[in-house]
Amino acid sequence: MRGKVKKPVWLTLALFIYVTAMAVYFLPRNTEIGSTEKYVILGVSYVIVLALWFVLRKKEEMRERRKEDIMNKKTNKNEKSSF
């Protein structure tokens, strides 16, 4: 059985698809800016999505580590009180 898809994955994938769809739809129709600006905007958008993925992944790792620490403290406290 496969695990649950984590928030950084589905959110980043959704934003990646959104940025790509907007680029495919709007950038060819926009004649007011040059080609270089179009590619820079697209590149920066992808960098922002990638940075968001890293931040969300680190945040989730910290949350998991915090949960483990809390569980370890509870088990250690229970072991000490049983003596």
Burial degree of 57 (CB within 10 A; 0-12, 13-18, 19+): middle
Per-residue pLDDT tens over the stretch 26-78: 888 888 888 899 899 999 999 999 999 999 999 999 999 999 888 888 787 76
Q: H helices within the chain, ranges in order?
A: 7-26, 35-81
Per-residue pLDDT tens over the stretch 5-33: 777 788 999 999 999 999 999 888 888 88
How far apart, in whole angstroms, are the C-alpha atoms of residue 17 and residue 9? 12
Residue 56 C-alpha from the chain's centroid: 4
